[in-house]
Amino acid sequence: MTYRYAAGVFILMMFTALLTACWDKTEMNELALVSMVGVDIDPDSGKKTVYYQIINPLSGTSARGTPGGEQAPVYTYEISGSSFGEIKSTIYKMLPRKLFIAHSKVLLVSQRAAGQGIRDIVNFIEMQPNGRSSVPMLIVDGSISQVMKTFTPLERVPSDAIDSRLKLLIRNSLLAGKHIKVNDVIERMEKSDTIVLPMIAATSENPSSNSGETAADIDANQNNFIIGGGAVFRDYRMVGKLNDAQLVWYHLLNGDEGRHVRRFQVEGKQVSMELRLVRMQRDVFRQSDQPSVRIRLDLQLSATWANEFVPRSRAEVKRLEGNLNRIIENESLAFYQMTRERGWDLLRIRDLLRKQMPNHPDIDQAAKNAKVTIEVATRLLRTGSMNQPYEGTG
């Protein structure tokens, strides 16, 4: 019995040799905690530049000594090379600590690099042993170097600022959606679908590189960056842009559920309404041998922000709902027509047909020729706290 026990212990001890051990040990103060990665590729020379934004732990309030204050919350390291693999080694010419990107929150890609293709960049992120592909990917409109070297007010670490803004935008608007992560990009691109990624741009030409100055400036719009617009990707390449108005229809027709307030012109009157998607149904059926797609959107309306006009009777509510149904149907259909003309399958009709009609001989052609109808049913469920706005009529 004792021998068997000893033998068991010995065998298990042998197995432990295969496991991670002291040689994998890294103390936390030997790590460079990467918060944001930026990638740029020069289209002429093909030179790749990677920006690593490293968190300075001593700037935090938990640090010993002077909390925050004079220290920058992040440091941006910029390194160039002919390949991403090369950069992995040459980074240590400048960086004194072990690169640790498991906690990076955002991936930025320059617009010019996105135009050439992001396949290499995505592979670079995926291949890193402790890399994460569940981080949002944003396209930089303008100079990536400028964005990477911008300190953000209030949220001291820029990646936190971007991450937090995206979360708020997803909840409180239809300007950003949930499917903007690197792994979403890979999934969509591998299925030959399209994806729209948010864009980011610096607000000033020459942002201050001093965190103290940024923190001392009352104008938060200076030395900042702004998220706006969307970059359309197909086959790992950026093929176009969407403006904010178009992004609303894109996200709505893709099932995003953010509460978005938009002003509509109804019967000559302006009215601001908050929309929220309750349910989206997409049906495929054959019509004269062509596939036809019917998209039905059930929207919940709120007049909380309608300071211009508040419907006062049931008839007015019904009429408002009817008008909004028509307006939203028309505008979203116009959006669809625009994407179709440009050859962007932003409503993912192809993916839908592939699922619903798996035996169709030519899905690509069927998706192009599919007739798309959009039906909208809105219901005004919430009104504001006033049943009549102040009009100053005496």
Partner 1 sequence: MARKRQNQSIRNDFFEDIQSALGYPPDLVCRSLFVREEQAVHCVYLESMVDKKTIDDYILKSFTEHTFAEGEAPRSAGSGFLREVSFSDPYEELREHAVKSLLAGHCVLADFARERVCLINVTEPRQRSIDEPKSESTIRGPHEGFTESILTNVGLVRKRIRNPFLRFEKMSVGSQTGTTLLMVYMENLAPDSLVREVRGRLSAIRTDSVLESAYVEEFIQDRIWSPFPTLTNTERPDVVAAQLLDGKVAVMVDGTPSVLLAPMTFFEFFSSPEDYYQRADIATFIRWIRLISFFTAVFVPSLYVAATTFHQELIPTQLLISLSAQREGVPLPAFFEVLLMEVVFEIIREAGLRMPRAVGQALSIVGAIVLGQAAVEAGLISAAIVIVVAITGITNFVVPVYSFGMSQRLLRFSFVLLAGFMGLFGILCGALFLVAHLVSLKSFGVPYMIPASPSKGADWKDVLVRLPRPWLDPNRLPGYIRNLKRKR
Residues that bind partner 1 (CB under 8 A): 12, 16, 19-22, 24-29, 31, 33, 35, 55, 57-58, 60, 62-64, 100, 102-103, 105, 130
Return the bridge partners of 44, or none.
none
Identify which of residues 75 and 100 has a Cβ nearer to partner 1 in the complex: 100
Question: What is the H or E stretch that residue 111 is in?
Answer: helix 111-116
Give dist(CA 308, CA 319) in Å, integer. Answer: 16
The beta strand positions in the chain, using DSSP E, are 31-41, 48-55, 74-81, 98-100, 106-110, 137-140, 194-202, 225-234, 237-242, 260-266, 269-287, 290-302, 371-382
Identify which of residues 25 and 93 has a Cβ nearer to partner 1 in the complex: 25
Identify which of residues 8 and 85 has a Cβ nearer to partner 1 in the complex: 8
Q: How far is the CB of 279 from partner 1 (least distance, A)?
A: 35
Closest by alpha carbon to 154, among 66, 206, 219? 219
Query: Do residues 90 and 52 lie in contact, with contact meaning Cβ atoms separated by under 8 Å?
Result: no
Identify which of residues 89 and 130 has a Cβ nearer to partner 1 in the complex: 130
Query: Do residues 198 and 232 lie in contact, with contact meaning Cβ atoms separated by under 8 Å?
Result: no
Q: How far is the CB of 6 from partner 1 (least distance, A)?
A: 12
Which residues 6+ apart lie within 8 Å of 179 measured at CB? Answer: 188, 195, 254
Identify which of residues 160 and 331 has a Cβ nearer to partner 1 in the complex: 160
Tell me whether residue 294 is exposed, middle or buried, using C-beta atoms within 10 angstroms of its C-beta: 0 to 12, 13 to 18, 19 or more.
middle
The full 3-state SS of 11-44, as one line of letters, equals: HHHHHHCCCCCHHHCCCHHHEEEEEEEEEEECCC
Unique residue bearing structure tokens 């965190």: 211
Q: How far is the CB of 310 from partner 1 (least distance, A)?
A: 43
Query: What are the two backbone dihedrals, phi and then psi, of residue 60, each rounded to the nearest 5 degrees?
Result: -75, 165
Q: How far is the CB of 303 from partner 1 (least distance, A)?
A: 39
Query: Do residues 247 and 180 lie in contact, with contact meaning Cβ atoms separated by under 8 Å?
Result: no
Q: How far is the CB of 16 from partner 1 (least distance, A)?
A: 6
Cβ count within 10 A of residue 189: 19
Q: 84-98: string of b/e by CB count within 10 Å (b at 16+)?
A: beebbeebeeebeee
Identify which of residues 62 and 206 has a Cβ nearer to partner 1 in the complex: 62
Identity of the amino acid at 133: S
Identify which of residues 35 and 378 has a Cβ nearer to partner 1 in the complex: 35
Identify which of residues 33 and 324 has a Cβ nearer to partner 1 in the complex: 33
Q: How far is the CB of 62 from partner 1 (least distance, A)?
A: 4
Identify which of residues 19 and 315 has a Cβ nearer to partner 1 in the complex: 19
